[in-house]
Chain A
Amino acid sequence: MSSPETKSPVLILGAASDIGRAIARRYAETGRPLVLAARDPERLEPDAADLRLRFGVAVELRAFDVLDITGHPAFVNGLEPVPGTVVCTVGLLGDQAAAERDPAALELIVATNFTGPGVALGLLADRMAAAGGGTVIGIGSVAGDRGRASNYIYGAAKAGLAAFLSGLRNRLYAKEVHVVTVKPGFVRTRMTEGMALPALLTAEPDEVARAVMRAETRRQDVVYVRSVWRLVMAVIRMLPEPVFKRTRL
């Protein structure tokens, strides 16, 4: 970690989330300055104070609304200097049943998990490419690996994001922009609070943060936070559709 590039800022979109906070701490620990972006940046003041105090890093707060896609170009162009790493943790599980009935609810899930992050990360990747390179990290989901009755609208949006990141990775490979897709599986966060989650398959936010940093250092493309998920999803993906449609996974 000695190249000057490692001290370039890390931009975290969705920094108020549990995963965003965990990622901020891990990057700050390595001395990287941080730009924390969230809808309501004032709420992040205590987090900024904590990161400055614990790790002595510079922390900047920015307002960012993932749904305001027309505002994304101004947001991206307003970042100075260009971040060396961007992590997008924005996501919304939403209510599957509501989204089946209500188009607005469906649209909100798609916009929060796919359109918004896609637009922002695409613009950021281009700015990084112009500046000589960087790392773009999107948080996908195992739910995007196969559509299941219980959460296929969320899953479809995450599948869309995964395909988008794959294409972005492909397009910018030659321009030194490395694109990572992280699939966390279950994580103990606000999103899953109160759900009964299997311990073996459930990660702490800090595990996601470590997986993110590892993926950046090792230049991995698609990573599962807990490797057991790679196996689980391989099996689920292999089930033939005539069988899969009868399951209740």
Chain B
Amino acid sequence: MLSGWGRYPRIDCRVVTPRDEGDAAAAVRAAGNSGLIARGNGRSYGDAALNRRATLSMLRFDRLLAFDPETGRLTCEAGVLLSDILDTFVPRGWFPAVTPGTRFVTVGGAIAADVHGKNHHKDGSFVDHVDSLDLLLEDGRVITCGPDREPELFTATRGGMGLTGTILRATLRLRPITTAWIRQETVRAPDLDTIMGLFEESVDWTYTVAWIDCLARSARLGRSLLFRGEHAEIEEVPADRRERPLATPRHRTISVPCDAPPGVLNRWTVAAFNAIYYRLGTPGTAIVGAWPFFYPLDSLLDWNRIYGGAGFVQYQCVLPKPASAVGIRALLEAVARAGRGSFLAVLKLLGKQNELMAFPMEGYTLALDFPANAPTFSFLNELDAIVADHGGRLYLAKDARMGTGLLHRGYPGLAAFRDIRVRWNPAGSFRSLQAERLAL
């Protein structure tokens, strides 16, 4: 049984694991008309990396191939995890140019979902730092594409959810760092207007993200903690760490050992957690390790089990900036009114971006999660209406349930994307459960 990170839906999929290009080409040939989809480390939340008939696990496609210490250019296979890149290159003074909130994603998955990070407003998304990639097509050809080479195929592949072909290898540019530490500033915002004002003021910070208490109502609606960060310089690092500033402090991890019983996360426990978290968020500046700053949840392995066996859905939308103040307020009011507190609610101001299928656009993105059950699904339809009314869209990498109406309104590039997809793979061999559900 396979599922995305949300553990909903769970599907019995036939898994094929290629070790090299020959294996991958053979799997694509064998899948033929019945189709297949590539899968990385299963960190997309919904049904994007599932195909009953053939799911191609890229996890054994995990070799680092070449690195240029002058430029920070790394060529690697698509199944390499960001954690492999961090382990290998942070000690040498390099960091991923863009990283999502977990380091357990593959490079191929990060490209296919065109993931973003806390620096989207400054540095764009993951693929903005990809020079080229090798894509396996359904006819067995491997096409190298990039911004200057087969740009059309490249553009459709970023955020293309694996539907334009299977990414085999990529060359990315890493960012030089002098320490493995982050100067983090925490600012408390008592309401939504304040947090939005703070985001506007913080556009010069490299990294910004806010945790938002989505159960706070009326005057406190939108109360949040803004975290903004910069890579720390050596003189900012604690004195006893200055000798080896790139050494990563040992990060302890613990595992969630089993599924939580249903009901552990309810409106009262979540409200209590949020209230405590808000108060514990000490305003001020601190020098923190890069790991806890970027990957707070990675220290809790298998945290997706806290929603119990039925799984959960993550709901991440983005609204255009002019509509954000009103739209985000409407979303938060709906969440608070329904008492459907999300354990993790994240708000961020994204920068400009304009590709066919990329999720980010200039405006505010809100990410929430909810247990996967019938009341959640009908409630999310209410949120969908708000998102649609404000010209927003949902993130395909998180989605397990959106309808085609919202998809079409949110992704005006869809028709062009489909044309490109069909031109390069006329039989439509690359398809996922999500692609079938949404007719991508």
Contact = CB atoms under 8 A, between A and B. Distances in A.
Given A18-B19, A47-B63, A50-B65, 18 more contacts: A16-B19, A43-B20, A46-B20, A46-B77, A49-B64, A49-B65, A49-B66, A50-B62, A50-B64, A53-B64, A53-B66, A53-B67, A53-B88, A54-B88, A190-B19, A193-B16, A193-B17, A194-B14
B60 A46 contact: no
A18 B65 CA distance: 18
A201 B19 CA distance: 24
A68 to B, nearest CB: 23
A46 B63 CA distance: 7
Interface in A173-217: 190, 193-194
Nearest to B17: A193
Nearest to A43: B20
Contacts of A194: 14
Count class of interface residues, chain B: 10 to 19
Interface in A1-42: 16, 18
B20 A18 contact: no
A233 to B, nearest CB: 28
A16 B23 CA distance: 13
Contacts of B67: 53
11 contacts: A43-B20, A46-B20, A46-B63, A49-B64, A53-B64, A53-B66, A53-B67, A54-B64, A54-B84, A54-B88, A193-B16
Contacts of B63: 46-47, 49-50
A196 to B, nearest CB: 11
Interface residues of A, number: 12
Contacts of A49: 63-66
Nearest to B23: A190
Contacts of A43: 20
Chain A to chain B: the 4 pairs with minimum beta-carbon distance, closest first: A50-B63, A46-B63, A53-B64, A50-B64
Interface string B62-75: 11111100000000
A100 B45 CA distance: 47
Interface in B384-398: none
Contacts of A50: 62-65
Interface of B: 14, 16-17, 19-20, 60, 62-67, 77, 84, 88
Interface of A: 16, 18, 43, 46-47, 49-50, 53-54, 190, 193-194
B420 to A, nearest CB: 29
A156 B65 CA distance: 40
B227 to A, nearest CB: 31
Contacts of B84: 54
A46 B65 contact: yes
A197 to B, nearest CB: 13
Contacts of A193: 16-17
Contacts of B19: 16, 18, 190
Contacts of A190: 17, 19
A190 B62 CA distance: 15
Contacts of B88: 53-54
Contacts of B62: 50
Contacts of A18: 19, 60
A16 B84 CA distance: 20
A54 B84 CA distance: 9
Nearest to B18: A190
Nearest to A53: B64
A50 B66 CA distance: 8
A49 B65 CA distance: 5
A43 B14 CA distance: 26
Contacts of B14: 194
- Interface hub of B16, B66, B77 (most chain A Cβ within 10 A): B66
Nearest to A190: B19
Contacts of B60: 18
B26 to A, nearest CB: 12
Nearest to A188: B17
Nearest to B74: A53
Nearest to B20: A43
A12 to B, nearest CB: 16
Taking each of B63, B64, B77, which has the highest tally of chain A beta carbons within 10 Å of its own beta carbon? B63
A16 B19 CA distance: 9
A193 B63 CA distance: 21
A46 B88 CA distance: 16
Nearest to A52: B64
A59 B62 CA distance: 18
A34 B39 CA distance: 31
B206 to A, nearest CB: 27
A165 B400 CA distance: 54
Contacts of A47: 63
A18 B20 CA distance: 12
B184 to A, nearest CB: 30
Contacts of A53: 64-67, 88
A193 to B, nearest CB: 6
A161 to B, nearest CB: 25
Among A16, A18, A43, A49, the most chain B Cβ lie within 10 Å of the Cβ of: A49
